[in-house]
Structure 1
Amino acid sequence: MDIDVVNPADGSVLATVPLTSAAQVASLAADAGRVFRSGVWAGLAPRERAAAMLRLAGLMERDADVLARLDSEDAGKPITEAREGDIPGAIESIRWFAEAADKLAGAAPSTAPGVLAYTTREPFGVVAAILPWNYPLAMAAWKIGPALVAGNCLILKPADATPRSVLHVATLALEAGIPAGVLTVATGDGPTTGAALAADPRIGALSFTGSTATGRAILEASARSNLKRVSLEMGGKAPHVVMPDALALGDALIDGITEEAFLTAGQNCTAGSRVLVHESIHDEVVVRLAAAASALVIGDPANAETQVGPVIDDAAADRILVAIASAVERGAVAVAGGREVPVLPRGRYLAPTILAGVDPADPILTTEIFGPVMTVQAFATREEAIAMANAVDYGLHAAVWTQSLDDALALARGIEAGTVSVGAYSEGDMTVPFGGWKQSGFGGAEKSLAAFDQWTRVKTVWIQRP
């Protein structure tokens, strides 16, 4: 059975890829286990693995335009966003982890006389990663880098909607000299291919980025099978907290909030979809945000000037439009957007939407919409802002806008999120970890040296004089 890869921009079929069955997943896992045990990859010195990974990064750089086009077409991402953000970020990830290959270190704790104790970090062997569709190659690189550098053999399942850039990188890995079976791509869907990976007893660790519901199912499958290590990065409902002095930040404030809310048409787990503004500047911020959102260029993602492309499919568009209409029926005002925009036939393009005056009990304030929708609410005190920021089940990212060090520190401490950025929209660079709190995930961090914790296990060696 095959799966059609459909271009969200116009509904055209770009390619067909196989649906990997449970039996085929089992075969791939068995093959990867044999490759791991052979030592052709895990048995190399870290510097040798690093050299191959650096060659892979160089080949990705050579094919950067191809990779950007594949992600743009598969996900409906504006080509400029893919070309200037996603693909350079993916290449940087592979390079960064390659250069960290010899930074994995154990410890030799002080023990009793006559005893030598030390720890090592060792690969699991066969591991897997299940990817989202919104950042196909960028998210893949966050997992490929540390998993392979640590010596594992990785089975990678891209989203069924966006497999082509990952398939291309798998061919580049072979060209780079990474042995066959070290990086394997299993195309397919969640109920068949993803579920088989989660349940396979040969897989020692699995990293998942996607919905909270699927994350729960993966945890259940791990519990029923071999208790594989699971790391989850799931949904988000990120708040922006805008303090009274934030207007002095100028264009950086409005540009930062607008970018975080509407990048990738709002189809982003860290999208700043909840803007919490001090009551003294609320009305002015709403007017400025509405103007900025209305000025964004909606169009064909293949055009370099496009800033907002289509949402991924009909089901997503319908769900988003229903959420907007429901909020408006309950008294919210769409100060920008709130409608569908005709661009290309069979593509679903939604205008960046800002809702003010939302009913405090409206589910749109707590449910991840995963589309170009922002709500704006007023608060009176710092304590109220913290309570509003934390009044959701998610805790992936938050942003704070202020020039006050006291406010910045208090808000960063009080907001329940894995990453809090101050004075910017940023998840940080490769040197810092990225991961969620609450129902946004757990089990490890992406990026930084902390990412190796997902893909290695600690062994203690205790040597005692007889």
Structure 2
Amino acid sequence: MAVQTNGSSDSFIRIPEIKFTKLFINGEFVDSISGKTFETIDPRTGEVIARVAEGDNEDIDLAVKAARHAFDHGPWPRLSGSERRRIMMKFADLIDENTEELAALDTLDAGKLLGWGKTMDIPLSAELLRYYAGAADKIHGETLKMSRELQGYTLREPVGVVGHITPWNFPSNVFFMKVSPALAAGCTMVVKPAEQTPLSALYNAYLAKQAGIPDGVINVVTGFGPTAGAAICSHMDIDQVSFTGSTEVGRLVMQAAATSNLKAVSLELGGKSPLIIFDDADVETAADLALLGVLYNKGEVCAAGSRVFVQEGIYDEIVKKLAEKAKTWTVGDPFDPTIRQGPQVSKAQFEKILAYIEHGKIEGATLLTGGKSCCEKGYYIEPTVFTNVTDNMVIAREEIFGPVMSLMKFKTVDEVIKRANDTKYGLAAGIVTNNLNVANTVSRSIRAGIIWINCYFGLDKDCPFGGYKMSGFGRDLGMEALDKYLHVKAVVTPLYNSPWI
């Protein structure tokens, strides 16, 4: 494992100017009503980046009123689909024009690799806007063939005001995964970004206004989950909540929605996804996929392949190859283009991951590589691989959300299917094999929302993403994401002179 320290290599760092730290409500940046602020922290150093307005119940109420007025009386839901498309396309162009700054904000705020942000996260965010912009003028109902003397058709109408609560691991991507289809549908919204990573959401709100999205359509309230987030979930004038985050918080979102106005909820929650490597797999390729599956974005991915099952025939080879490759995985400042893994997002997450690593040692798993913090300062953790892990160990059952792999051996197809499904989660799974029958059998048997065969993180704007079991329900991405922001209304009239009663 190669380490880049935070010392003499600062020539590559391009720290962005922090332009927006206030709440964005009804098209304006405003202080919180209380005047309170909170610190957003640079995970590379543990130092303060900026102080950001701390929204609370009153601020959420103000934002919801703006969104409700924009929905009930404003132009956005009443524009033609082609006009919404035109404005969304301009918004996407502005994202492209500001790629460097947006990527740098996510690097500074979340510890994400700047290179990945510039080539993937921010360009993909713009593409999400364009994808759903293309759907905005293709939202159609159906003509119904009724069994009685009636004429019937359906309309698809925007659900109303949506509350989006977004996570800290992909601040820009998830912002647009939620905002883009809601905009295309004609909804208005209040966005509560994670308190760890508020900066890019506020910048995106600014760009939305520059693109011509009317005031009140997109409101961004920064703050904390137990206050601002809870206020969104319980607000009587929000029609739907879309949440991405932990399973524990997802429960609270559902409870608040149920005890308020019974608003619709979609949840994309945690995971403990299996990557299953069969004997016929190429060892080099399989090892690369296994490392990518758990180290990409420093393991802060809900669909991370953190449980790696390897068939006994190549288990020892895989162990050897993983040990070799993990040592070459460079950890250090995410602004450095040579680095492959930056810091964990926060001190709390850093300490949580290290505690799980200690659990693994105490329970008897063998530490193959890594297992410690690294770098002079900041929240950096070595790529960590455990072998001799059993299914009942904490590191094999609980979501760690960090660069920690649990490696396990199996014998048969039936055995690994049973073990892979022995989890409360069901978000994703990976299969590495050249046997089509095995791939088909296992992919149909694993209870998860997406299965990747001979790849991992094969995500695309066309492909729906979401979970089974305690990984949540509802889908982001694809046309399925658009559906959750639309109501279906049936309209029925009797045919001329027909007895309709």
1:63-462 matched pairs, under 5 angstroms: 63-112=98-147, 114-247=149-282, 251-343=284-376, 345=377, 347-442=378-473, 444-462=474-492
Distance 2:391 2:75 in 1: 58
Determine the C-alpha separation between the residues in 1 that align with 2:358 and 2:160.
50
> Per-residue CA shift, 1:179-237, capped at 9, x if unaligned?
01111101111000000000001100110000111110010001110011000000011
Question: Residue 58 of structure 1 aligns with which residue?
Answer: 93
Unmatched runs of 5 consecutive residues or more in structure 1: none
Question: Greater CA deviation, 432-441 or 306-315?
Answer: 306-315
Aligned positions, number: 461
Q: Which consecutive unaligned segments of at least 5 residues does structure 2 have?
A: 1-35
Structure 1 vs Structure 2: percent identity of aligned residues?
39
CA contact (8 A) 2:128 2:176 kept: yes
Equivalent-residue separation in structure 1 for 2:138 and 2:328 (angstroms):
46
Establish whether residue 19 from structure 1 lines up as the match of residue 54 from structure 2.
yes
Inter-partner Cα distance in structure 1 for 2:485 and 2:189:
10
For residues 152 and 465 of structure 2, what CA distance do their matches in structure 1 show?
A: 32
Residue identity matched to 2:226: P
Give the conservation status (yes or no) of the 8 Å contact 2:466–2:476. yes
Query: 2:359 and 2:46 mapped to 1: Cα distance?
Result: 27
| Contact residue 391 and residue 419 of structure 2 kept, 8 A | no
Residues 280-289 or 47-56, more deviating: 280-289
* SS in structure 1 of the partner of residue 144 of structure 2: coil
8 Å Cα contact 1:331-1:359 kept in structure 2: no
| Whole-angstrom distance in 2 between the partners of 1:88 and 1:436 | 25
The question of whether the paired residues in 1 share the 8 Å contact of 2:284 and 2:321 is answered with no
Give the Cα separation in 2 of the matches to 1:15 and 1:116: 60
Larger CA deviation: 129-138 vs 35-44: 35-44
Q: Which moved more, 1:20-29 or 1:367-376?
A: 20-29
Structure 1 stretch 103-112 or stretch 159-168: which is displaced more?
A: 103-112
Normalization by structure 2: what TM-score?
A: 0.90
Give the aligned CA root-mean-square deviation in angstroms. Answer: 1.2
The one-letter amino acid paired with 2:373 is E
Report the secondary structure of 2:483's partner residue.
helix
Instruction: Provide the secondary structure at the position in 1 that maps to 2:294.
Output: helix
Query: What is the deviation of 1:259?
Result: 1.1
Letter in 1 for 2:201: V
Return the offset for 1:103. Answer: 2.4
TM-score between the two structures when normalised by the length of structure 1: 0.97
Q: Which amino acid aligns with 2:231?
A: A
Aligned to 1:42: 77
Once the two structures are TM-superposed, the CA of residue 173 in structure 1 deviates from its matched residue by: 0.6
Amino acid in the other structure paired with 1:380? K
In 2: Cα distance, 1:154 partner to 1:232 partner: 17
Cα separation, 1, equivalents of 2:391 and 2:172: 37
CA contact (8 A) 2:391 2:397 kept: no
Q: How far apart are the structure 2 equivalents of 1:76 and 1:450?
A: 31
Q: Which amino acid aligns with 1:439?
A: M
1:246 alignment partner, SS class: coil
Q: Using the alignment, how far apart are the partners of 1:220 and 1:378 within structure 2? A: 40
Which amino acid in 2 is paired with 1:232? L
Shift of 1:113: 5.9
Equivalent pair of 2:306/2:405 in contact (CA under 8 Å): yes
SS at match of 2:78: coil
Distance across 1 between alignment mates of 2:99 and 2:43? 21
Contact 1:419–1:427 (8 Å) recurs in 2? no
The C-alpha deviation readout for 1:273-300, integer Å capped at 9, x for no partner, is 1100001111101111122122111001
**Counterpart residue identity of residue 174, structure 2:** M
Deviation of 1:380 (Å)? 0.4
Alpha-carbon distance, 1:315 to partner? 2.0
State the alpha-carbon separation in 2 of the partners of residues 316 and 24 from structure 1: 28
CA-to-aligned-CA distance 1:26-71 (integer Å, 9 cap, x gap): 1211121111112411110001000000000000000000000000
Q: Residue 240 of structure 2 contacts residue 263 of structure 2 at CA under 8 Å; is this kept in 1?
A: yes
Contact 2:70/2:216 (<8 A) preserved: yes
Counterpart CA distance in 2 for 1:168 and 1:348 is: 25
C-alpha contact (below 8 Å) 1:65/1:83 kept by paired residues: yes
CA contact (8 A) 1:427 1:434 kept: no
What one-letter code is carried by the residue in structure 2 that aligns with 1:361? Answer: N
Task: From the superposition, tell whether residues 183 and 268 of structure 1 become closer, same or farther in structure 2 (CA, over 3 Å).
Answer: same
Which of residues 64, 71, 82 is equivalent to 1:29?
64
In the TM superposition, residue 330 of structure 1 has moved relative to its aligned partner by: 2.5
Task: Look up the equivalent residue of 1:446 and give its one-letter code.
Answer: D
Could you tell me how far 1:426 is from its partner in structure 2?
A: 2.7
Contact conserved, 1:399 with 1:421, CA < 8 A, in 2? yes
1:400 partner amino acid: I
> For the residues of structure 2 that align with 1:318 and 1:397, how far apart are their CA atoms?
26
Q: Deviations over 1:227-262 (max 9, x none)?
A: 110000000111100011112xx6432222211210
